[in-house]
């Protein structure tokens, strides 16, 4: 695979320092390529170009923005297989999942191609005769984006498409483990005819992350920072943006409860749980983390789910039929192992799995889980089911809400009254009732509590990159 440069001001450039960093395949740790290791000086140049591009892009018509976004989405679908292979090589997820992620990313360009033409203002009934009150939406300015490794093309696509639709320019720092998918996406943005400097990609190594992130927060020309990642890093960025009073959009960590009530359809609940828990080897922010199963259906659920987990094919995501790929790196592997070991030492029961693999972690089931255990309190980000038995509905809701994070929550029930009560009671920005597919371009994605600020996708995603201006006109 060829080495990659940054993309700044319409040119592919080496880092000003001449440094680069390695990107490795998480399955076998083989070297894929080297990538330009940018620093604050490179970032400043990118912001220079983005500022100039914004000056003209903000004057573009919705139709012009729509045409560019539509073309980018179309090019992503044209190159879906190629992009999926790059994604699997650097991230490890099964090729079918990677292909799905590319399609997912394309839907955001297609969605915001249409939504850019619906950035409506409003007419407000006037409190005074002869005076009109109207509002218009205007682009914020330069949007800086820090994207995660678990969806290395889906998340940049979701952010970039919304920002461009609103009339903003972009400076993107992809995750150091998985920068290649974003750089491949940039090739398509360039091919689609994006104006010079409109989108800039500034990759960097782990050693340079803090320098680049701090520079993004400090530069007054950056109007908004959009970050997807851990709650801890999100809090840090939030504080760093205070001096320049930037808009922040933070999609942070989750610790999703997954409740199965006695009234649930067993087959549907098991299918939903496996899909939610084991997609991307459990490395998603909305994955089912804390599993609550009502006593009357508990044994049936376990009897149904354990054979399906045992049958999962583990291996190289590039191989046909593989359902569980590697964890992203050794740090994540060690973290999952620690969480499992600490939970077992605290009294959890190991029913299945629990072993470290050469390149990941065995799908694992823990039962007899209690509050306070590591597997219950921490976001695992790995293929571990942490199961607690409960008796009453109120007990399940109490357990589910006993968490400082509220990104997503799921439950299965066929009781209409229960569906209404539980949906209302769960303290989460997104609730899936008998359904786990909650992330679509049409729907607002975002959480409560320390799971973040703002929404991505839907009309609300466009608003994250827009200012509302009030115009009051006197006709007297």
Catalytic-residue membership of 395: no
Rounded to whole angstroms, the Cα distance separating 216 from 44 reads 8
Answer yes or no: are the C-beta atoms of 9 and 45 closer than 8 Å. yes
Active site annotation includes 11? no
227 — phi, psi (to 5°)?
-130, 135
* Three-state SS annotation for the chain: CCCECEEECCEEECCCCCCEEEEECCCCCCEEEEEECCCHHHHHHHHHHHHHHHHHHCCCCHHHHHHHHHHHHHHHHHCHHHHHHHHHHHHCCCHHHHHHHHHHHHHHHHHHHHHHHHCCCEEECCCCCCEEEEEEEEECCEEEEECCCCCCCHHHHHHHHHHHHHCCEEEEECCCCCCHHHHHHHHHHHHCCCCCCCEEECCCCHHHHHHHHHHHHHCCCEEEEEEECCHHHHHHHHHHCCCCCCEEEEECCCCEEEEECCCCCHHHHHHHHHHHHHHHHHCCCCCEEEEEEEHHHHHHHHHHHHHHHHCCCECCCCCCCCCECCCCCHHHHHHHHHHHHHHHHCCCEEEECCCEECCEECCEEEECCCCCCHHHHCCCCCCEEEEEEECCHHHHHHHHHCCCEECEEEEECCCHHHHHHHHHHCCCCEEEECCCCCCCCCCCECCEECCEECCECHHHHHHCCEEEEEEEEECC
DSSP bridge pairs for 411:
259, 433
| In contact, 87 and 97? CB cutoff 8 Å | no
**In 10 A of CB 263, how many CB atoms?**
16
Cα separation, 285 vs 151, in Å, equals 10
Active-site hit among 90, 101, 184, 251: 251
Total length of the chain: 476
Q: Of the listed 168, 241, 285, 375, which one is catalytic?
A: 285
CA distance 357 to 151: 23
- Give dist(CA 406, CA 133) in Å, integer: 37
Which residues are designated catalytic?
Answer: 251, 285
């Amino acid at each position: 695979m060829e080495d990659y440069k940054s993309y700044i001001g319409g040119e592919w450039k080496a880092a000003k320092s001449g440094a680069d960093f390695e990107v490795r395949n998480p399955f076998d740790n083989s070297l894929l390529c080297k990538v330009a290791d940018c620093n604050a000086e490179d970032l400043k140049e990118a912001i220079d170009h983005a500022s100039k591009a914004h000056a003209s892009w903000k004057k573009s018509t919705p139709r012009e923005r729509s045409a560019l976004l539509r073309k980018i989405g179309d090019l992503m679908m044209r190159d879906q297989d190629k992009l999926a292979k790059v994604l699997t090589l650097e991230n490890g997820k099964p090729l079918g999942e990677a292909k799905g992620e590319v399609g997912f990313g394309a839907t955001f360009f297609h969605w915001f191609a249409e939504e850019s033409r619906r950035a409506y203002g409003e007419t407000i009934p006037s409190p005074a005769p002869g005076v009109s009150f109207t509002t218009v939406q205007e682009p914020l300015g330069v949007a800086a984006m820090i994207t995660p490794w678990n969806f290395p093309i889906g998340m940049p696509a979701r952010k970039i498409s919304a920002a461009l639709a609103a009339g903003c320019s972009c400076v993107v720092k992809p995750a150091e483990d998985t920068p290649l998918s974003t750089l491949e996406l940039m090739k398509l943005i360039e091919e689609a005819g994006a104006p010079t400097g409109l989108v800039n990609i500034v990759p960097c190594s782990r050693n340079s992350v803090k320098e680049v992130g701090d520079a993004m927060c400090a530069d007054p020309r950056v109007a908004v920072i959009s970050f997807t990642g851990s709650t801890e890093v999100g809090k840090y960025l939030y504080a760093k943006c205070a001096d320049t009073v930037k808009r922040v959009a933070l999609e942070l960590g989750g610790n999703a409860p997954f409740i199965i009530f006695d009234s649930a359809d067993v087959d549907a609940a098991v299918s939903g749980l496996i899909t939610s828990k084991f997609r991307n080897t459990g490395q998603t922010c909305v994955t089912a983390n804390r599993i609550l199963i009502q006593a009357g259906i508990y044994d049936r659920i376990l009897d149904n789910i354990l054979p399906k987990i045992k049958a999962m094919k583990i291996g190289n995501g590039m191989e046909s039929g593989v359902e569980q790929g590697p964890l992203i790196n050794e740090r994540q592997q060690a973290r999952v192992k620690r969480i499992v070991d600490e939970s077992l030492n605290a009294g959890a029961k190991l029913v299945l799995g629990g072993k470290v693999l050469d390149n990941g972690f065995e799908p694992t089931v823990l039962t007899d889980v209690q509050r306070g255990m590591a597997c219950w309190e921490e976001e695992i980000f790995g293929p571990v089911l942490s199961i607690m038995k409960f008796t009453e509905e109120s007990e399940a809701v109490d357990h589910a809400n006993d968490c400082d994070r509220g990104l997503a929550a799921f439950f299965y029930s066929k009781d209409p009254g229960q569906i209404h009560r539980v949906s209302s009671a769960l303290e989460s920005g997104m609730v899936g009732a008998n359904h786990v597919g909650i992330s679509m371009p049409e729907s607002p994605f975002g959480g409560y509590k320390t799971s973040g600020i703002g929404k991505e996708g839907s009309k609300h995603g466009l608003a994250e990159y827009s200012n509302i201006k009030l115009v009051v006109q006197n006709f007297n």
